[in-house]
Structure 1
């Protein structure tokens, strides 16, 4: 009996069109070493069984939207109710002083700098973080904050689990997302590495006659040059007007039946319109 002991039958999620679907159709979702490492870390916290519940959601395209900013990943996940649930995965970003130590260590080792400048994630980059007393991936559950607006009390619920799997796939596609989550965007990091290694293009770069001889710049010869600036200027990054609200802890205040933070979202979005 579906309603045995008074429990109602499990509600099926509302199917959506145009959601974000996991590329993997069976087996493991994470493909690269760094995304597998992220899933392994979550499983090491005893989340393995609960994470599996979200695979079906991730593959069915129930995640409508997934945004990553410093410290916070927010996913909108369609469940069985008309209003999508808001799943949030937060981690502590490194401070500016901590990133300075990391960048100096990375820049001091040519192989690491070359791989990052080429858009690759060095296989043992975690060692660099260890050497400066930091961890790239969380080592305890206390380093992660997860919450969801659904009524499920388990952490992670299937909505959070689906967001975790799609986050791992985004790490497959762009490993710099991991570093951005920790507080350092791709271009800012690469600019810092170029500056620390003395490869930033300056006025002398426009004057070939004044260029240093090859014998004096062998160490930096193979590093990637800066990309050419677009003639029309860089595209502005899209802004999320209510992203600030995602940084807030859930408030124990309701306006009618709506959480106070959610009630403020329409106002933030309205103020951002032209």
Structure 2
């Protein structure tokens, strides 16, 4: 009998983990692969913090769908990952939430330029937001190892363990399909942020008084100096395939989404 407490004892069978029906899995077949700039920056930051080189430990778990659940909220990603034991392990990846004063600076800076609000509303995070946040003394991504906390209930002392690494894989892919993932971790989900920006802009644009009717008539047939149209989201042609469950159909021995991806790419580039 081991003197170690029961929750810290190794009882691994050495075999494969218990299968999960309907588990969350990554779509990439070659590991973590970024499709958008913000996901690429997130993976690059993980490399700088010494996490990226260890992600391969959880690759098979992420591909096999061993993640039972994954929730992204202000300050933390919490997931349940099924291993060889009957009880799934609880994984938590934490990122510091910006306080009210910091978010106030961010919201004012974003609301000052309608282009940012339009881009966010269109479902993309423009690269220029990094410079804007830098001017506010903040960073969307963890700037140091201390900014990112990692915890797993498994007995593996290595950080990240395979369960944490699997969640990082899924989180990187989630960042690709939902650009608001990192903003949610910093404390503002999509609806809340857009509503705050709308309120900020409405307050700044409050009219001093009604314009003379003659001025309105003169400008009736002319266009105003409205904001420039937002840039389209910078996503891969087949990104929509990553947002739907894998259908049970196969084409030529490979998953249906893999067979459809070249078709989406061809339709997006008809002159190629």
Q: Same fold (TM over 0.5)?
A: yes
Give, in angstroms, the shift of residue 117 of structure 1: 2.1
1:94 equivalent among 98, 103, 109? 98
- Once residues 99 and 217 of structure 1 are traced to their aligned partners in structure 2, the CA distance between those partners, rounded to angstroms, is 31
Partner of 1:195: 199
In the alignment, does 2:44 pair up with 1:40?
yes
CA contact (8 A) 1:197 1:220 kept: no
Secondary structure in structure 1 of the residue aligned to 2:49: helix
Query: Alignment RMSD, CA only?
Result: 2.6
With over 3 angstroms needed to count, the CA separation of the structure-2 counterparts of 1:21 and 1:152, relative to structure 1, is same
1:185 equivalent among 185, 189, 193? 189
Instruction: State which drifts further: 186-195 or 154-163.
Output: 186-195
Secondary structure in structure 1 of the residue aligned to 2:92: strand
Give, in angstroms, the shift of residue 199 of structure 1: 9.0
In the alignment, does 2:60 pair up with 1:71?
no
Give ranges in structure 1 of 5+ residues lacking alignment. 1-7, 203-208, 224-274
Give, in angstroms, the shift of residue 216 of structure 1: 8.8
CA-to-aligned-CA distance 1:218-252 (integer Å, 9 cap, x gap):
335968xxxxxxxxxxxxxxxxxxxxxxxxxxxxx
Partner of 1:218: 225
The count of residues paired between Structure 1 and Structure 2 equals: 208
Partner of 1:260: none
1:104 equivalent among 103, 108, 113? 108
Matches within 5 A, 1:103-252: 103-198=107-202, 218-219=225-226
CA-to-aligned-CA distance 1:110-146 (integer Å, 9 cap, x gap):
3222211222110221111100001110111101111
Secondary structure in structure 2 of the residue aligned to 1:53: helix
In the alignment, does 2:12 pair up with 1:12?
no
CA contact (8 A) 2:31 2:59 kept: no
Secondary structure in structure 1 of the residue aligned to 2:68: strand
Give, in angstroms, the shift of residue 27 of structure 1: 4.4
- Once residues 51 and 222 of structure 1 are traced to their aligned partners in structure 2, the CA distance between those partners, rounded to angstroms, is 39
Give, in angstroms, the shift of residue 9 of structure 1: 7.4
Give, in angstroms, the shift of residue 30 of structure 1: 2.8
Q: Output the TM-score relative to the length of structure 2.
A: 0.70
Partner of 2:35: 31
Secondary structure in structure 1 of the residue aligned to 2:90: strand
- Once residues 221 and 138 of structure 1 are traced to their aligned partners in structure 2, the CA distance between those partners, rounded to angstroms, is 31
Give, in angstroms, the shift of residue 152 of structure 1: 0.3
Q: Output the TM-score relative to the length of structure 1.
A: 0.69
Give, in angstroms, the shift of residue 12 of structure 1: 2.3
Give ranges in structure 2 of 5+ residues lacking alignment. 1-11, 207-212, 231-272
